[in-house]
Structure 1
Amino acid sequence: MANESFDNPISSDKVTDKPGLLEYAHSVGGAIVKPEDKGKIKGRAVTAMREQTDLQLSQLYRQMQLLAEQAKAIRNRVEVSERIYGAQMGFEPIVGHTYYFYEKKDGTDVLSLVAPNEWGRTNPFQRCVATVKMMADHTWDVTYHDSDYSEEE
C-alpha cells in the first residue's frame, strides 16, 4: 500500500499550494471573507475626509478671526497713540508708567499725571477719556472711561 498513488477527488484547478493568498477561507476554521461594497467604502471614506477637512477649515477660520481681532487691536492702539502724541503734555512719558488722557471742553486732548479722583472740585477737564500706560513699542495700553466731568451750567 505504500506505493499506491492517491487519487485526489478535487480538481487540480481548485487546489493551491499557497492557501494564504486565496480571497476566501480555505479551511473550515478560516475567517469569513465577504466581498465589500466598494460604493460603501468610498462613501465612508469621503464622509470621513469631509468631516476632517471641515474641522481643519473651522480651526483655520477661528485662527483667522483671532488674527483679524489682534490686527484691529494693534490698529486701534496706533490710532489712540497718535491721538495721545498729538495731545498737550508737559512731561516726557516713560515706558511702563500710567497716565490719564483727558478731553477739555474746547475739544483739545491733554495727557496728565493726575488721576481723575485726585482733582477734587477743580477738575479742568470735560471728561477723562482713558487711563493709558506706555508700552515698550511706544504705543499705549488703553483702558477707556465713561466718566464725564462737565460742570453743570
Structure 2
Amino acid sequence: MQKEVPDNVVFSKEQGYNAHILPYATNVGAPIIKTDDVVSWKNRGIQNVNKEFESKFNELRLQYQKLMEEFEWNELIYNAKFSFEPVVGEIYHLYIAADSTYFLSIISPQEWNKEHIGSFLLNSDKKWIFINQNTKQ
C-alpha cells in the first residue's frame, strides 16, 4: 500500500497543507526552534523580588519597633506625676520615686540624687521625644 502524500510533506485530510500554521518545524531545512529558558529568568526575578520584599519588610519592622518604643515612652510620661504644664521645646527629666512611681521634673539629674530614667523634649505635637537615658543613678 502506497501513501497518497510522501512523509516529508505536511498534509492532513481535515486541514490540507498546513505546514505554515504548525508551531514546529516540518522539514529538515526549517530553522531550529529553541525554547527560551524562562525558568532561570523566573528564578532570577523571584530572587530579586524576594530580596526587595525582605528589605522593605525589615525597614517596616524597624519603623514599627521605633514607633512602639516612642508610644511606650509617651505612655509612661503621660502617666507619670507632674504638677506643672510642660512647655513645648523644653527638656524634662523622668525619675522614679521611692514608692516606685514615675514623676517628671525640670531639675536635671546632675542637680540632685534621684534615680533618673531619661530626658525628654516635648515637641509641638505634644509628643515626648527621647533624648538620653540613665545619666546618673
**Superposed pair shares fold, TM > 0.5:** yes
Runs of 4+, deviation exceeding 6 Å: none
Task: After TM superposition, list the pairs within 5 Å mapping 1:47-86 onto structure 2.
Answer: 47-86=40-79
Task: After TM superposition, list the pairs within 5 Å mapping 1:101-120 onto structure 2.
Answer: 101-117=94-110, 119=111
Could you tell me whether the CA contact under 8 Å between 1:116 and 1:128 is conserved in 2?
yes
Gaps of 5+ in 1: 1-22, 24-33
Gaps of 5+ in 2: 1-24, 26-30
Code of the residue aligned with 2:127 in structure 1: it is: T
TM-score normalised by the chain length of structure 2: 0.66
Identity %: 20
Could you tell me whether the CA contact under 8 Å between 2:109 and 2:136 is conserved in 1?
no
Q: Of Structure 1 and Structure 2, which has the larger fraction of its residues in helix? A: 1
Code of the residue aligned with 2:96 in structure 1: it is: E
TM-aligned CA deviation for residue 144 of structure 1: 4.2
Could you tell me whether the CA contact under 8 Å between 1:104 and 1:124 is conserved in 2?
no
Residue in 1 that maps onto 2:32 = 35
